[in-house]
Amino acid sequence: MFSLNVAGGEAGVDTIDLETAAMHHVMEIGLANTIKHKTELPCGAVATRGAVMIGKGVPTDFRLMQDPLHAEFNAGASARLDPTYRPVNVYDSEGKVVAGPPDTFRVGFEPCDNCQDWLATQPGIKRVAFILSRVDLANKGLVKPHPETIFERVERLGFPYTVEQLQDEELRGIGLSILDHVQRNPKTEVVTIKADPLKAILSNLRRKPVSTVLLPARRFA
Ligand SMILES: [Zn+2]
């Protein structure tokens, strides 16, 4: 298990710190993956249970030629390898959760339909949060626009989690600036990047106190 030790230890982490730190980490691992492999869009995901991150992932579908391997899916797979993963919560004698599934997935981009469906099958899931919408990505020519947003679709299908697009202008600005240096061929889905400006954004992200405290590299990221 790795903790989000942002403000003096796990016990001192409040919800805002966790959200910001986790989302910085989401952006950092997604961008690092794109710079390293040059094949996937710069999307990361983390899976948390309370204030503890138990999984994280980046997309590997293109380089592994395996379709469902988006960041969300790999974060969920990573969580299952965590020693405290259980399909249902386990409590100690004081009622504190000591093991269980992730309750929250945080993702850089609005999850696609496949990932929305897959997330709905995950035990314990209560909330999905993201930074950039599908419209943001479509405006940059990176994905096809959909007629229905995740909010409408999740409500229509009665999925068991709430969805939130974080209103964090700084993170949103960083996300949009990353997309300025990424292109994807709409027919072949081949990604091309401008590495130098992306490396500069990554080193800026890593300079932020909230992202430097986070976790060692780990499976799928
Ligand atoms: Zn997806």
Residue 83 lies in a domain: yes
Residue range 97-110, pLDDT digits in tens: 989 999 999 999 99
pLDDT of residue 81 exceeding 60, the answer is yes
Structural domain span for residue 51? 2-212
Distance 94 CA to ligand 1 centre (A): 38
Distance 114 CA to ligand 1 centre (A): 6
Distance 107 CA to ligand 1 centre (A): 10
Percent helix, strand and coil across the chain, each rounded to 5? 40, 20, 40
- Looking at residue 207, what is its pLDDT? 79
pLDDT of residue 74 exceeding 60, the answer is yes
pLDDT of residue 86 exceeding 60, the answer is yes
Distance 123 CA to ligand 1 centre (A): 18
**Selection from 210, 200, 207, 206 nearest residue 180 by Cα:** 200
Query: For residue 20, what are the β-bridge partners?
Result: none
Q: Which of 129-133, 144-148, 213-217 has the highest mean pLDDT?
A: 129-133
**Of all residues in the chain, what percent carry a pLDDT higher than 70?**
86
Amino acid at 168: D
Mean pLDDT of 118-130: 97
Residue 62 lies in a domain: yes
Q: Residue 13's domain is classified under what CATH number?
A: 3.40.140.10
Number of domains in the chain: 1
pLDDT of residue 214 exceeding 80, the answer is no
Distance 67 CA to ligand 1 centre (A): 9
Residue range 16-60, pLDDT digits in tens: 567 888 898 999 999 999 999 998 999 999 999 988 889 999 999
Distance 59 CA to ligand 1 centre (A): 9
Confirm if 51 and 10 have CB atoms less than 8 A apart.
Answer: yes
Residue 32 lies in a domain: yes
Distance 48 CA to ligand 1 centre (A): 18
Distance 161 CA to ligand 1 centre (A): 16
Whole-angstrom CA distances from 156 to 113, 148, 160 are 13, 10, 11
Q: How confident is the model at residue 5 (pLDDT cuts 50, 70, 90)?
A: very low
Residue 221 lies in a domain: no
Residue 219 lies in a domain: no
- If phi over 0 gives left and psi between -120 and 50 gives alpha, with beta otherwise, what is residue 65? left
Q: Which residues contact 12 (CB under 8 A, 6 or more apart)?
A: none
